[in-house]
Amino acid sequence: MLLGVTLAGGMLVGATFFGGTKSLNNIGRGYTKYREILQLIENNYVDTVNTDELVDFSIEKMLQKLDPHTAYMNPQDAIAARSQLEGGFDGIGVEFNIYKDTVYVVTPLAGGPSEAAGIQSGDKIIKVDDTPLAGGKIENSAVFKALRGKRGTEVKMTILRKGEKEPRLFTVTRDRIPTYSIDAAYMVDGKTGYIKVNRFSETTYDEFKTALASLKSQGMTQLMMDLRNNPGGYMDRATSIADEFISGNKMLVYTDGKDNRYDRQTYARIAGQFEEGALVVLMDEGSASASEIVAGALQDHDRALIAGRRSFGKGLVQMPVQLSDGSELRLTISRYYTPSGRSIQKPYVPGQEGDYEKDLEQRSKRGEYYIADSIKNDPKLKFKTDGGRVVYGGGGITPDYFIPRDSSWQTPYLVQLYGKNIIREFAMEYANDNRKKLEKMPFDEFNRTVTINDELMARLVKDATSEGIKFNEKEYSRSKNYIRTQVKALVARYVYQKNNKAGQNNEYFRVAGEADDTYQKALKLFDRANKLEHGMFTYNQPERK
């Protein structure tokens, strides 16, 4: 939820927030009344109350009368939210997971202080300084609080390693830990590149330029850019990435607010690295805001084939404003429009957030995730691309080529495996048991020769049964190949990720792609993307499976 509030907004940075005092008199009367009520409560209410909590509550209720994306965050939540978009944080550099009220190290981040100190995947974190992290209910927030801190400070970690009876004591010096927004960037074959962007943060554009240049140097002539489940982030990073693909000085996006303080028009301005070449962009219902800005610009200029499912539909721009106590207001200041003039903001009624939040659920009930004809665009919101193709506003980016959600492998049995962390734990154990052999093996050899055979799958089922998951043969058969692929992909991640200093999980995605139906179908769309780029429009509505 916090990530969604933080990122599902194209956030405008650098604009002037305080535009004058003309409205101060209008709000003065309301402020006086509010202050009087708070003072009366503080002095006369029958019970002791926390007026800070009352203020936070009243602010949240007030903002519900605006739009679904204007949000208020207390100081703690604001810090956590900003860290999602900043280029790093101060900490010890581990990815952790809580399983059965025990904190496990998933992996020490490559080049980080934990790796340097000797902490390994699978280690159990028993205690941090004097704070126990074992036994009882453990929350993510408590782990973050214990592990993060000012760089240069030391933290003593009590670790229990598998196969050892006595815990070890490690002293780790906190440092700046970079965060990355490019999950993967690799060559699928001799000419096809793949880049997955998970959000638009401070460092996204720099990461993207580096990844794009690397793929071009390896012979890339066509690219798949994966924006699935990318909830957005900074608008200027999104337009900078779009500019890498769009030639000349074409418009990328424009914004329109209450007055001209927040009205902006952004145009392509650089000679991009990939202005020619077939481009496929993957989107789904989790792609929002800044992701939709990129896709909208590429679609309106007939530069990319948009494939997948209709995007979220978030066309409001927020400005983050830090308040005096460290809390933060994310205030909607404008709407953004794609080059053809369409707003992709889906409908909402102020004060009725429940209906807005249920939109994705309603799409599922209508069958929209599985049948292209279930996408109902408003015929009154019809626009045209540069080449005359019809596109629609009012509710996300409708793909040029529809790819249904693959649910063939989704079963209640699989849900339980994930719920009790069986797949990840099994993969981690396999990687640790075979690490010496696997680390000597190049990834291509690993991918070609390592298989999660039936014997290993039987062990996984046994582990699941011992954790109280009742075996269901029919459901297991449906999910078996997916489970097998996921285990192998996670093993690849645990073994090879540390070799990628850019924080990418290329090996994981290369293996996982084998069971990714959307990815596999999209690989067959480059002929269509090539025709689109050259103005050969043979379709006007989302093509079916």
Residue ranges and CATH numbers for the domains of the chain are: 88-178 (2.30.42.10), 189-316+337-399 (3.90.226.10), 412-519 (no CATH)
Any catalytic annotation for residue 314?
A: yes
* Neighbouring residues of 443: CB distance < 8 A, sequence distance ≥ 6: 492, 496, 507, 510
pLDDT at 545: 46
pLDDT at 403 > cutoff 50: yes
Query: What's residue 10's pLDDT?
Result: 58
- Tokens representing 204 are 């996204």
Taking alpha carbons only, the member of 475, 410, 486, 425 closest to residue 452 is 486
Of the given ranges (28-42, 160-174, 189-203, 342-356), which has the lowest mean pLDDT?
A: 342-356
The tens digit of pLDDT for each residue in 95-144 reads 888 877 788 887 787 778 998 898 987 888 999 998 888 766 777 778 88
Active-site choice (289, 291, 327, 340)? 289
SS3 assignment for 279-313: EEEEECCCCCCHHHHHHHHHHHCCCCEEEECCCCC
Torsion sign (Cα): 343, 349, 352, 358? negative
pLDDT band at 148 (very low <50, low <70, confident <90, very high): confident
Pairing of strands 175-178, 88-91: antiparallel
Residue where the block lists tokens 């404003």: 321
**Does 20 have pLDDT greater than 80?**
no
pLDDT of residue 487: 98
pLDDT digits (tens, 9 = 90+) for 467-501: 999 999 999 999 999 999 999 999 999 899 877 77
Q: What is the pLDDT of residues 191-239, one digit of tens each?
A: 999 999 999 999 999 999 999 999 999 999 999 999 999 999 999 999 9
C-alpha distances (whole Å) from 270 to each of 246, 249, 338, 443, 451 are 9, 8, 19, 37, 46
Out of 127, 196, 314, 346, pick the active-site residue: 314
Res 321 pLDDT > 80: yes
Q: What is the pLDDT of residue 214?
A: 97
Ranges 178-182, 241-245, 441-445: which has the least confidence: 178-182
Q: Which of 175, 243, 284, 300 is catalytic?
A: 300
For residue 497, which of 483, 487, 507, 488 has the smallest C-alpha distance?
Answer: 507
* Residue with the larger pLDDT of the pair 295 and 106: 295
Highest mean pLDDT among 25-34, 171-180, 288-297, 367-376: 288-297
Check whether 64 has a pLDDT greater than 60. Answer: yes
Structure tokens that stand for 213 in this block: 């240049």
Region of residue 163 (left: phi > 0; alpha: psi -120 to 50; beta: else): left
Residue 409 has pLDDT above 60, yes or no: yes
Is residue 424 scored above 60 in pLDDT?
A: yes
| Catalytic site includes residue 289 | yes
Per-residue pLDDT at 302: 97
